[in-house]
C-alpha cells in the first residue's frame, strides 16, 4: 500500500511536493488542503482531492503524513503544532534562530498525540545542516563555512521592490569565488560579510524614476545591501520576465579540519548544491523525510525530530539489503 | 566518564585512530592490541597499554568499543565477527562486493552477544556511500557519479612495484577534469573507464633496467592500467621520497537529478573530499562512529549496522539541543 500524503498550502512549495510525490512509486497524493475556495485551486494530480483546510480533521485516517507548505514567519509556528495533534507532519521551518522553540512546541504536542513531527527539512536548514553536522563530528578540530548562491533571495528581491521608483526587481546572492578558493585551499580565512557574498540586482524602473537615486537607495539599504558589494542593473520588464523568472539557488558547505598527532594534515570536506528550482528541490527533500515520518510512526516512534535524529535508511524506498548491496 | 576505546592493529589506520581519539574529549584510548611482540610496538599515547592480541579477552569490561584496524582481504572477515562476541566493534571493511556477506556474519554474532558492530566505516564505503544514498533518496530520478582522487592508490602502487626492473613506485588516480565539468553541467554523460580517471605513475628504476620496457609493461597491464590513459614518470629514489611520500586521497560523489511535473528542472548535488592523509581521515570517521556504537549499545541496540542505519546525531559529542541551536 502506498504512503498517503496530504499537502497543506498550494504555493510553489506545495506544487513542488506534488511533483516529487509523482517520482516516488511508494507514495500517493491523497489531498491538497487550502485556505482558498477549493474550486479555485487547480492541481496537477487528477486522483487527488482539493479540500478546504476546515475539512482536514475528517481526513485523520485517510492520510499517513501531512506536509505543511506554509511560510515560516506566521504559518508554520501555528500550523505544525496544531496538526501534529492529528497527523504525522513534516515542515520546512527555516527561521534558524527560532528552531529550538519551534521544536519544543511541536514535540509537546506530538509526544501527547503519539505522532511524529519532522521540522526544518529542506536544504538549509536540512541537507546543509546534515553536512555541517557530519563534518563537525568527523573533524572536531576545524572551521565551517557556508556560502549561498548563486541564487534568488526572495527577501532581498522583496526589499528592492519596496524602493520608491522600482516597478519590479530580482536579487541574486553570489558567493565570492576568490574566497571560496581560499577556503578550498585550506587557508582558513576569517571572513567579513562583504568577503563572502556579492549581491546582484536586476531592476525595472517605474516610468520617470531616477535611476541614480534608486541605485543609491538599494546599495545603502542597511542589513540587506550596505554590508555587501552590490551591483544594480536596470533592465526592461520583458528582459526580467525572459531571463530572471526562474527560482534557482544553491550553495556550498565546507569544513576545513586538521588531523594528526601534531595537526600536521589538512582535510577539506565540501558539499554543494546547484538547483534549477529552489522550491522543487526543497520539496524533494521533504518528500524523502515524509517517508521517514511514516516509517518511524509505523515503528511506534513519536515526538519532534530533525534531520539529525533520523537514520539515513529511513529516507530511501530501498530495503537495507538493497542499500548495502548497491549504494554502500 | 570517557568512552574507552581499544585499537586492534597498529599500522597507518591504527595510528590514525589514536590521533583522532586525542581530538575527542569524551574518549580515551585504553589499549592497543597487536600481533607483534608488544614491547616492539611504540605508541604515542602515554596513558594507554600495549598488549598482545591474545590478552584481549581480559579487556572485555575495560573497553567500550574495539576499533578493528586490519585489512579487508583477510583480517576483517575473520576479526570483526570474532570480536563482536566480546566487544562493540567498528571496522572499515571496504571490499564493496563482499559487504552483504560480511554484514551477515557480523550480525549473526552481534545479535547473539548483544553487542553493536558497525562495518564499512570510512569515506568509501562510508561518507561517499551516505552521500550517494541521501542524494538517491532526494532525487529518485537521476544518475550517480563517483570519482576518486587525486590520490594514491595502494593497489596500483603495489602493481607497479611488481614489474621487473622497478625499484619503487607510486601511482596517483586522477579524475578527468573535463568529465567532472560535464557532469557538473548536468550533461548526464555515459562514461567509459578511460573517460573517468587518469593514472599517473612515478617510478624508480633498478640500476640498468630498460625504461621503455617498464613503461610499456605498466601501461598494458590488464585491469590496473590498460583501460586508462596512463602516464609514467621516471624519477630518482630521493625525488620519490621527497615529493611522493604522503598518502593523500579524495574524490567526488555527484548526483544529477530532474524534478518538476515534466522533469523540466535539473539539480546537481556534489560531495567532495580533499584529504592530506587517507588513513587519518578514515580514522576520524571511524572514531565518530565508535561514539555512535557506544551510545547505541548504551540504549540496548545490538547487531550489525552500517552508516545507513545510524542517525547522524549519534556521531556528535554535542547534545540534541546544542546541535539544533548551532548546526541546524
Give the confidence band of A145 by pLDDT, cuts at 50, 70, 90.
Answer: very high
Which chain A residue has its CA at the smallest distance from B312's CA?
A: A308
Asked if B252 is an interface residue toward chain A (Cβ–Cβ < 8 A), one would say no
Residue B143 is given by DSSP the state E
B23 touches chain A (CB under 8 A): yes
Nearest-CA distance from B161 to chain A in Å?
Answer: 27
In this complex, the residue of A18, A134, A261 whose CB is nearest that of residue B19 is A261
pLDDT, tens digit, 9 for 90 and up, residues B252-283 = 999 999 999 999 999 999 999 999 999 999 99
Q: Which of A178, A204, A200, A210 is nearest to A191 (CA)?
A: A178
Q: How far is B219 from chain A (nearest CA, A)?
A: 31
Q: Average pLDDT in the B196-207 region? A: 98
State the nearest Cα–Cα gap between B101 and chain A, in angstroms: 10
Judge whether A261 is closer than 8 Å to chain B, CB to CB.
yes
How many CA atoms are closer than 13 Å to the CA of B243, on its beta-carbon side? 14
Going by DSSP bridges, is the β-strand pair A142-148/A249-259 parallel, antiparallel, or unpaired?
antiparallel
**Contact present, A265 and B276 (Cβ < 8 Å):** yes
Q: Do B137 and A281 touch (CB under 8 A)?
A: no
Q: Do B313 and A311 touch (CB under 8 A)?
A: no
Q: What is the pLDDT of residue A132?
A: 98
The answer to whether the CB of B175 falls within 8 A of the CB of B205 is no
8-state DSSP, A206 = P
Binning chain A into helix, strand and coil, the percentages to the nearest 5 are 40, 30, 30
All cell numbers assigned to A98: 527560532
Pairing of strands A3-8, B88-90: unpaired
Q: Between the CA atoms of B261, B266, B271 and B274, what dihedral angle is there, to the nearest 10 degrees? A: 180
Backbone angles phi, psi at B163, to 5 degrees: -75, 135
CA distance A217 to A274: 31
User: Under a CB-based contact definition with an 8 Å cutoff, are residues B301 and A306 in contact?
Assistant: no
What confidence tens digit (pLDDT) does each residue in B162-178 have? 999 999 999 999 999 99
**A27, A46 Cβ separation under 8 angstroms:** no
Average pLDDT, chain B: 97
The set of cell numbers assigned to B21 is: 581519539
Q: How far apart are CA A91 and CA A103, in angstroms?
A: 11
Q: Give pLDDT tens digits for B23-66.
A: 999 999 999 999 999 999 999 999 999 999 999 999 999 999 99
Report the run of H or E that residue B159 belongs to, with start and end. helix B154-161
pLDDT value of position A1: 80
Q: Which of A291, A325, A327 sits opposite B132 (nearest CB)?
A: A327
**A259 - beta bridge partners?**
A265
Interface contact B261, partner A, CB < 8 A? yes
Nearest CB partner across the interface for A284, out of B259, B313, B321: B259
CB B90 within 8 A of CB B289: yes
b/e string for A22-31 if b means 16 or more Cβ within 10 A?
bbbeebbbbb
Query: What is the per-residue pLDDT for A70?
Result: 96
What is the interface pTM, i.e. ipTM, of the complex?
0.97
Among A16, A125, A318, A324, most B C-beta atoms within 10 A, so best to mutate, is: A324
CB interface of B with A, residues 111-150, below 8 Å: 120, 125, 127, 129-134, 136-141
The 10s digit of each residue's pLDDT in A272-292 is 999 999 999 999 999 999 999
Question: Tens digits of per-residue pLDDT, A49-96?
Answer: 999 999 999 999 999 999 999 999 999 999 999 999 999 999 999 999
Question: What backbone phi and psi angles, to 5 degrees, belong to A18?
Answer: -55, -45
Residues A265, B272: C-beta atoms closer than 8 Å = no
Q: Concatenated DSSP letters for A90-109? A: E-----GGGHHHHHHHHHHH
Cβ-based neighbours of B306, under 8 Å, separated by 6 or more = A323, A324, A328, B99, B103, B118, B119, B120, B125, B129
Question: Cβ B140–A317 below 8 Å, yes or no?
Answer: yes
Amino acid at each position: 500500500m502506498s504512503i498517503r500524503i496530504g499537502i497543506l498550502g498550494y504555493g510553489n512549495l506545495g506544487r513542488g511536493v506534488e511533483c516529487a510525490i509523482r517520482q516516488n512509486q511508494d507514495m500517493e497524493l491523497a489531498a491538497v488542503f487550502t485556505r482558498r475556495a477549493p474550486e479555485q485551486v487547480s492541481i496537477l494530480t487528477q486522483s487527488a482531492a482539493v479540500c478546504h483546510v476546515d475539512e482536514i480533521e475528517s481526513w485523520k485516517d485517510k492520510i499517513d503524513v501531512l506536509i505543511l507548505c506554509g511560510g515560516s514567519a506566521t504559518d508554520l509556528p501555528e500550523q505544525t503544532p496544531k496538526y501534529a495533534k492529528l497527523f504525522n507532519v513534516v515542515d520546512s521551518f527555516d527561521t534558524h534562530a527560532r528552531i529550538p522553540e519551534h521544536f519544543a512546541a511541536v514535540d509537546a504536542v506530538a509526544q501527547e498525540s503519539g505522532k511524529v513531527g519532522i521540522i526544518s527539512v529542506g536544504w538549509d536548514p536540512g541537507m546543509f545542516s546534515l553536512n555541517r553536522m557530519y563534518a563537525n563530528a568527523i573533524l572536531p578540530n576545524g572551521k565551517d563555512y557556508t556560502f549561498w548562491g548563486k541564487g534568488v533571495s526572495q527577501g532581498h528581491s522583496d526589499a528592492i521592490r519596496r524602493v520608491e521608483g522600482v516597478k519590479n526587481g530580482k536579487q541574486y546572492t553570489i558567493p565570492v569565488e576568490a574566497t571560496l578558493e581560499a577556503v578550498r585551499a585550506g587557508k582558513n580565512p576569517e571572513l567579513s560579510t562583504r568577503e563572502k557574498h556579492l549581491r546582484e540586482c536586476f531592476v525595472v524602473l517605474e516610468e520617470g524614476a531616477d535611476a541614480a537615486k534608486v541605485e543609491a537607495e538599494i546599495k545603502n539599504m542597511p542589513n540587506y545591501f550596505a554590508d555587501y558589494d552590490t551591483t544594480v542593473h536596470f533592465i526592461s520588464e520583458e528582459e526580467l520576465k525572459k531571463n530572471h523568472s526562474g527560482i534557482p539557488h544553491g550553495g556550498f558547505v565546507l569544513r576545513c579540519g586538521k588531523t594528526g598527532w601534531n595537526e600536521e594534515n589538512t582535510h577539506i570536506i565540501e558539499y554543494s548544491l546547484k538547483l534549477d528550482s529552489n522550491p522543487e528541490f526543497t520539496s524533494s527533500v521533504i518528500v524523502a523525510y515524509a517517508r521517514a515520518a511514516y516509517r518511524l510512526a509505523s515503528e511506534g516512534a513519536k515526538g519532534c525530530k530533525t534531520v539529525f535524529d533520523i537514520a539515513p535508511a529511513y529516507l530511501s524506498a530501498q530495503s537495507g539489503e538493497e542499500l548495502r548491496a548497491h549504494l554502500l
